[in-house]
Amino acid sequence: MILKKIAGIAFIISFLMAIVIFTGYGSQFISFRNAKSAFLITGAAGLLLNLFSFPKGKGSLTYNFIYWIGSVFIFIGLTFKILHYPYSTPIIIFGMAVFTVSFFIPADKAERQKSSEIIDDLN
């Protein structure tokens, strides 16, 4: 539980640093160099801490695995973009495609049975 809170805070900081890096808003409060470092550190920390609770998600194991693979590719693509490495845009697009595919994976059978029983109980 505490890891989830720390990971959430790390993601918020990483997201704010991405705003500073890509839009320039807030650059009067933090330099681009420090924003890049903070983005890389907090983004990686958030991903790693969330991966510790990976199998405990609401979806199936396949859904969680594909979801996190997409997230990792997006993070790597953004890191490449910040560091001005080649192929950053294709990596981001690939990560977003994998991330999107994860939403079309059905839930576990136990999850589907629970939802059908709830509907049957209401009638």
Residues 71-115 have pLDDT tens digits of 889 989 988 998 889 999 999 999 999 988 888 877 665 555 555
Check residues 102 and 122 and name the one with the higher pLDDT.
102
pLDDT at 120 over 80: no
Q: Which domain covers residue 25, as residue numbers?
A: 1-52
pLDDT at 123 over 60: no
11 and 40 fall within a common domain: yes
pLDDT value for 11? 85
| Residue 119 within any structural domain of the chain | no
pLDDT value for 66? 85
| Residue 118 within any structural domain of the chain | no
44 and 73 fall within a common domain: no
42 and 61 fall within a common domain: no
| Residue 123 within any structural domain of the chain | no
46 and 67 fall within a common domain: no
pLDDT value for 88? 92
Q: Give the C-alpha separation, 117 to 123, whole Å.
A: 10
pLDDT at 117 over 60: no
Residues 12-59 have pLDDT tens digits of 898 899 888 888 888 889 998 999 999 889 988 888 887 776 555 566
pLDDT value for 104? 84
| Residue 46 within any structural domain of the chain | yes
Which burial class, exposed, middle or buried, applies to 35 when counting CB atoms under 10 A from its CB (0-12, 13-18, 19+)? buried
Q: Give the C-alpha separation, 2 to 50, whole Å.
A: 11
4 and 31 fall within a common domain: yes
User: How many distinct structural domains can be found in the chain?
Assistant: 2
